[in-house]
Structure 1
Amino acid sequence: MSGLYIHIPFCKQACSYCDFYFVTRQEYKQDFVDELIREIHSKKDTRFTEETVRTIYFGGGTPSLLTPQQVESILDAIQYVFKVEPEEITFEMNPDDVTKEFLSGLKSAGINRASMGVQSFNPELLKFMHRAHSSEEAFRCLELLQASKFNVFTVDLIYGNPGQSLQSLEQDIDTILQFDPPHISAYSLTIEPQTRLGKQVKLGRIVPPEDDTVARHFDLVVEKLGEAGILQYEVSNYAKPGKEALHNSNYWSHVNYLGLGPGAHSFWWDEDGKSAKRWSNKADLKSYFTGSWNEPFEEEHLDHTNLAEERLMLGLRTRSGLSLQELATRYDFSFNPKQQEYLQQLEIQEKAKIGDRIQLTTKGLKIADAILLDLITI
């Protein structure tokens, strides 16, 4: 089993917090689709086509700037080259791009899961984030999505914004819940150095909220969504039972995935099952048009120790945690005495459950990054 990630690099404008690769030159969209199809065809009869593809994810950028016809041509190429038995084909979209006809076209093309980048309904927060859509467009879009043939969709929410009150966050959550979403991704605002937001923070023009404030936001998200039957299954992801995102779960479980498009990342196990490689395409559309996808731009070789630490960090971000047997048999990993003592302290503090599996509780997931850093550096 493997997954495909398709990076669509077009955006109308730059969101203040985003550090993903994108371009705003819309006139290159068809040229890009043609080149992407060439990249897809280049994988025919390679090791990447030996496994059955179960999940496909269109991310970006803004995939919804493509037409349903362009999306269909990409999926046709994938079907021709790969062995595809899709359980989930996800498509990211922005509210300002969505119409009833657009959703119908995507469904006809084969998309079965929509991911809607709402982030907030608060006009001031949308302006702060430099989002292209309005709160009215977000509301209308969710109405269309709820009435569409998409049985599974996710709504993105960002909390921990400077100046964002608990009341404002609660209003956002309540508005989203009106549409009975099967899945919500709720992210704490991350300040990346090279983004517009990162530069404003560095200049002192924006002051990030205190950790205690962000923690209260997190608690409110977990509580409100839990009351609605939308349960936390990963630090930033919440779903009704059975509606968890399969593609993202692949990342956390070290399943092979292939990235296509400029800036896309890939991960693939070596034949020995003891090591793996991670690599990316160059994040540059012009060089992509000249076939730069033929060679990895950045490549990282992961040995057993690297893979064990990474699996530990990814797995403990999920509610299901990690099997000790899997760590021992697949990664030849066991905890040293100091790590065992640290884990016991986490259990005493009710931040973790230790048995055949190691699982962080809600209290532990709240500070997962700090716990994981402590654990691997002991």
Structure 2
Amino acid sequence: MSGLYIHIPFCKQACSYCDFYFVTRHQQKQDFVDELIREIHSKKDSVFTEEPVQTIYFGGGTPSLLSADQVNAILDEINKVFDTDLKEITLEMNPDDVSPEYLSGLKSAGINRASMGVQSFNPELLKFMNRAHTSEEAMKCLEILEASEFKVFTVDLIYGNPGQSLDILEKDIDTILQFKPPHISAYSLTIEPQTRLGKQVELGRIIPPQDDTVSDHFDLVVQKLAEAGIQQYEVSNYAKPGHEAVHNSNYWNHENYLGLGPGAHSFWWDKNRDSAKRWKNEANLEAYLKGEWKEKAELEELNLGDLAEERLMLGLRTKAGLSMSELKTSYDFEFNARQLEYLQRLEEGGRVETKNRIYLTKEGLKIADSILLDLVTMV
């Protein structure tokens, strides 16, 4: 099974923290859809159509800047070209794009999971993030979503912002929980160097919060969501049982996925599963519209050692962790003496469990990135 990721490169404005590829000119939306359909058809009778597509994810950018008819046209062409056995079709949307009519059109087109980029209801934080929507629009869109035919949806939240108190975060969580979402993605603010936020931090105009503050935010998110029956199943993802994201879980499980659109990444195992390739389309809409997606940018060949390291990094970000036997059988990987000693110390400190599976505890997930970095540098 595999997944399709479709990158829609249009945004109304640049969020201060975002380093994904986008453009703010919208005149070429239909040209983009036409070219995307050409790219879809170029995959006909290829290795990518030999296994069923289980998930489709419209990301961006802001996919909700496309009309429901445009989304429908894209899905129609996918169904013509690929062997589809679809369990989940997700579309990211911003609150200011949502109306009952739009959601109804998306549902008719086949979208069955909405991903709502709320991030916060606090006016000052929305201004700091340079979000296009207001607090009122965020509330209104969740009311519309809760009343719609979408029974599966997720709401995005960002914590660890400069100046964000625990009270502000708690109010955001309480507001989201009023709408009974089956899934929440809660991300700690990441400062990327090439973003507006990254430049302001570099110049000393913004001071990021201390690690202890971010840790307190994380604890509050885990606690409040667990009390509402929404359990953490990955570092940044929480769901009611049975509502975990299928598409993203396939990433963490190292399944094949094909990226379409400018800047989209792909990952595909070779037939014998002892190597794989990763590549991306050039992040340039003008080049894309000229058909330059035919050339793979940044093609990377991955051997089994690379893949084992990657599986470790992905799997240990999830609550389920990794099977020791899977690492040995599928990746020919076993922990070396230094790694085993390190894991033993972590287990004694209550951050890791190692039985037949290895997984991080709540305390371990809180510092997952540093644990993973330590582990892979000991290879």
Q: TM-score range by the shorter chain?
A: over 0.9
In structure 2, what is the Cα distance between the partners aligned to 1:59 and 1:162? 26
- Report the equivalent of 1:93: 93
- Report the equivalent of 1:307: 307
295-304 or 10-19: which moved more? 295-304
11-20 or 347-356: which moved more? 347-356
- Report the equivalent of 1:224: 224
Which structure 1 residue ranges, 5 or more long, are not aligned? none
Number of aligned positions between the proteins:
378
In structure 1, what is the Cα distance between the partners aligned to 2:139 and 2:61? 22
- The aligned runs of 1:202-281 (5 Å cut-off) are 202-281=202-281
In structure 1, what is the Cα distance between the partners aligned to 2:55 and 2:295? 24
Deviation of 1:344 after TM superposition, in Å, equals 1.0
Which structure 2 residue ranges, 5 or more long, are not aligned? none
- String of CA shifts for 1:104-156, please: whole Å, max 9, x gaps: 00000000000000000000000000000000000000000001111100000
- Report the equivalent of 1:195: 195
- Report the equivalent of 2:334: 334
- String of CA shifts for 1:289-319, please: whole Å, max 9, x gaps: 1111111011111001100000000000000
- Report the equivalent of 2:51: 51
Look up the SS of the partner of 1:121 in the other structure.
coil
Look up the SS of the partner of 1:156 in the other structure.
strand
* Residue identity (%): 75
Query: What one-letter code is carried by the residue in structure 2 that aligns with 1:186?
Result: A
The list of structure 1 runs, each at least 4 consecutive aligned residues, that deviate by more than 4 angstroms after superposition, is none
- Report the equivalent of 1:377: 377
Query: What one-letter code is carried by the residue in structure 2 that aligns with 1:361?
Result: T
Query: What one-letter code is carried by the residue in structure 1 that aligns with 2:344?
Result: Q
Query: What one-letter code is carried by the residue in structure 1 that aligns with 2:239?
Result: A
Look up the SS of the partner of 2:139 in the other structure.
helix
Look up the SS of the partner of 2:27 in the other structure.
helix
- Report the equivalent of 1:29: 29
Indicate yes or no: 2:176 matched with 1:176. Answer: yes
In structure 2, what is the Cα distance between the partners aligned to 1:180 and 1:136? 18
Deviation of 1:338 after TM superposition, in Å, equals 1.0
Alpha-carbon RMSD: 0.4
Look up the SS of the partner of 1:209 in the other structure.
coil
Indicate yes or no: 2:356 matched with 1:356. Answer: yes
- The aligned runs of 1:132-151 (5 Å cut-off) are 132-151=132-151
Deviation of 1:278 after TM superposition, in Å, equals 0.2
- Report the equivalent of 2:11: 11
- String of CA shifts for 1:76-101, please: whole Å, max 9, x gaps: 00000000111000000000000000
- Report the equivalent of 2:345: 345
In structure 2, what is the Cα distance between the partners aligned to 1:356 and 1:152? 33
- String of CA shifts for 1:320-371, please: whole Å, max 9, x gaps: 0000000000000000011111111111111011100001000000000010
Deviation of 1:376 after TM superposition, in Å, equals 1.1
- Report the equivalent of 2:160: 160
Indicate yes or no: 2:151 matched with 1:115. Answer: no
TM-score (ref. length: structure 2): 0.99
